[in-house]
Amino acid sequence: MAYVINDGCISCGSCAAQCPVSAISQGDSQFVIDANTCIDCGSCAAQCPVGAITQG
C-alpha cells in the first residue's frame, strides 16, 4: 500500500522535497501522494512535522 496524506497536512512542502520519485504534489487544499508512483520508501512520513502521512 502506498503512503497517504491526511487532512492534518499544513502544506509545508517538506514531503514533496524529500520524495525520491516526485510522487507528491500540491493539491487543492493540501499535498497529495500519487499512489501509482510512490515506492513506499517512508521518507515523507519521517519528514512530516505534523505526522500527517501514514501508510494506507
Which chain residues interact with ligand SF4 by CB under 6 A?
3, 5, 9-15, 18-19, 21, 23-24, 31, 33, 38-44, 47-48, 50, 52-53
Separation of alpha carbons 36 and 22, rounded Å: 11
Q: Which is nearer to ligand SF4, 13 or 28 (CB)?
A: 13
CA angle 9, 38, 34 (to 5 degrees): 60
Residue 2 Cβ vs ligand SF4, minimum distance, rounded to whole Å? 6
CB 28 to ligand SF4: min, Å = 13
